[in-house]
Amino acid sequence: MEKIRVLIADDHAVLRAGLGMLINATQDITVVGEAADGEEAVKQTKALRPNIVLLDITMPGNKGMKTLSAILETSPQTKVLILTMHEDPAYVRSALASGASGYLVKKVADAELISAIRAVHRGRIFVDSSQTSESIFTSKARGLLSEREMQVLQFLAQGFTHQQIARRIFVSVKTVETYRSRLAKKLELHTRADIVRYALEVGLLTPEQ
């Protein structure tokens, strides 16, 4: 079995060491490198081509979204999973809109971190459970969307393709495309970033179980 290759980018050595021990204790994930600042994270990504970069967005060097963008530009096939202290939903929306595949707060449980790495590797969007809010939901979406439209919106936000959604809800791909067109028309959700932001705002985007 080919392991998921992870690069840890964080300026705290103790945290990197702890994350490395946790990740390397699994059977399907391995740490291939570390970086202590943004510039090093980009260089290591270029050299190692990891499957996933576990990235703190408040390191020295190229900070925040600049590092995220540089990593994705350097290695488009690499996915970035944000691991940070910031709990502000604005950071979540900004990170996902900039191309991150997931967002976790550092107080997250070990099991959720491992689940996040696996989910992101499979092409899913993973958001820390503390960053989603069911209470925001209903009033903002239910008045505009049908139950099926909300279901399709949720699957799209989680990263599923039209074909995958069609198989899950037992309809044709053309039908899924029709729902997608309705979402664009009703909510002006024209891009993946638009869909992710809206799903976060209304509480439809939940972490992988």
Q: What angle do CA 202, 204, 208 make, to 5 degrees?
A: 145
User: DSSP assignment, residue 131?
Assistant: G
pTM score of the predicted model: 0.67
As a whole number of angstroms, the distance between CA 156 and CA 137 comes to 17
As a whole number of angstroms, the distance between CA 186 and CA 173 comes to 20
3-state secondary structure of 115: helix
Contact predicate 48/7, CB 8 Å = yes
pLDDT at position 161 is 92
pLDDT at position 61 is 65
pLDDT at position 180 is 92
Quote the longest CA-to-CA distance of the chain.
51
Domain 4-130: give its CATH superfamily. Answer: Response regulator (3.40.50.2300)
pLDDT at position 129 is 64
pLDDT at position 141 is 54
CATH 3.90.800.10 assigned to 134-201:
no
Residue 93 half-sphere exposure toward CB, CA atoms < 13 A: 12
pLDDT at position 95 is 84
Contact predicate 17/131, CB 8 Å = no
pLDDT at position 200 is 75
User: CB burial class (10 A; 0-12, 13-18, 19+) of residue 113?
Assistant: buried
pLDDT at position 24 is 95
As a whole number of angstroms, the distance between CA 149 and CA 147 comes to 5
Q: pLDDT tens digits, the chain, 209 residues: what are they?
A: 799 999 999 999 999 999 999 999 999 999 999 999 999 999 999 999 999 999 998 877 667 788 999 999 999 999 999 998 888 777 887 888 788 888 888 888 888 899 889 988 988 778 776 655 433 333 445 566 777 888 898 889 888 899 999 998 999 999 999 999 988 888 788 888 888 877 776 667 654 43
Structural domain boundaries in the chain: 4-130, 134-201
pLDDT at position 133 is 43
